[in-house]
Chains A and B, each alone.
Chain A
Amino acid sequence: AQSVTQLDSHVSVSEGTPVLLRCNYSSSYSPSLFWYVQHPNKGLQLLLKYTSAATLVKGINGFEAEFKKSETSFHLTKPSAHMSDAAEYFCVVRGDGSGNTGKLIFGQGTTLQVKP
């Protein structure tokens, strides 16, 4: 079965410093992976997606993620944090191995705090 594990439940950075949110995945085949962001009282927004093309994926708002098969990781990074980046971030894998390729499996989430 597909699954993702977000290694940190809470990350705190200062404004202007780099952001690293860690995600490991488990998959029996080449996965489709995503990062979603959820601001308070707002819907989930897609940041970026990996679907077996380039391993370095660029997303919105300066975020990017690198797919590393050897490490089964898909970490999210941003060179310089902005106050508006404070939110909940979810690492997501598509499909649960049962044949439903539309199903998204979410990690537990990482809360990003950005300090001034």
Chain B
Amino acid sequence: EAGVAQSPRYKIIEKRQSVAFWCNPISGHATLYWYQQILGQGPKLLIQFQNNGVVDDSQLPKDRFSAERLKGVDSTLKIQPAKLEDSAVYLCASSLAFDRAGANVLTFGAGSRLTVL
């Protein structure tokens, strides 16, 4: 099966600019996750969708970050305006479900590396 697709792989912007990342999950996966991985740290969950509804966005900086999954398939994560501390790899992952054993194994994409200057 095709994996989780993400684009762009790399992006360099200046602070206060905006950026958007796109994710296409594995076909049939209802749950989609966006994680932020700052250099030298483990990934941190930003937002989790079940179909097109939000399950958890408790760690999403909502003053500058937004995400949507309008048709329950693809998702976009946007940062506006970007800060220096947003430099990180943004990982998208998907799973069949999130609340059933055996269906909640995450598959990760390769990530989108953001550098904010």
Contacts and interface: CB of A to CB of B under 8 A. Distances in A.
A94 B48 CA distance: 14
Interface stretch (A61-69, A79-87, A106-114): A106-114
A103 B58 CA distance: 11
Interface residues of A, number: 21
Contacts, number: 57
Given A43-B4, A44-B91, A98-B58, A104 B45 contact: yes
Interface residues of B, number: 28
Interface of B: 3-4, 31, 33, 40-45, 48, 55-56, 58, 91, 93, 95, 97-99, 101, 104-106, 108-111
Interface of A: 41-46, 49, 51, 90, 92, 94, 98, 100-104, 106-109
